[in-house]
Amino acid sequence: MTIHLYGIPNCDTVKKARDWLETQGHPYVFHDYKKEGADPARIAGWIAAAGLDLVVNRKGTTYRALSDDDKTRAAGAESAPALLAANPSVIKRPIVEHDGGLLVGFKPDEWVAALG
């Protein structure tokens, strides 16, 4: 199974997810938004698969610091991918692509069901 984990390395939730994957013996490829950026087309795919409300992290300080215009852009499925690519801290973390689908956020029970 190929697992791609997307996130920011200093995020506590991403650290927990990476530790979990390693403890469970699941090899993965880590994509660091800060070093490698975020692809708007991939983000659009995540939004199509999981929904805008799940992909956009509205609880974080980066989202709260956005202008009202940018918050409006973040609320639209057409405009959100470009905004999130420019502001990857507004993407819910982590996002995991695996052979069976997509996981958004770290919930161990969901991860066990999806990844074994």
Chain segment 77-105, per-residue pLDDT in tens: 999 999 999 999 999 999 999 998 999 99
* pLDDT score for 116: 85
In the CATH scheme, what is the homologous superfamily, with its name and number, of domain 3-115? Glutaredoxin (3.40.30.10)
* Active-site residue, from 3, 11, 102, 114: 11
Q: Which has the closest alpha carbon to 3: 61, 22, 13?
A: 22
Q: Is-above-0.85 flag for pTM?
A: yes
For residue 68, is pLDDT > 90?
yes
* pLDDT, tens only, 5-54: 999 999 999 999 999 999 999 999 999 999 999 999 999 999 999 999 99
Contact 88, 34 (CB under 8 A): yes
Active site residue 14: no
- Can you give the chain as a three-state secondary structure string? CCEEEEECCCCHHHHHHHHHHHHCCCCCEEEEHHHHCCCHHHHHHHHHHHCHHHHECCCCHHHHHCCHHHHHHHCCCCCHHHHHHHCHHHECCCEEEECCEEEECCCHHHHHHHHC
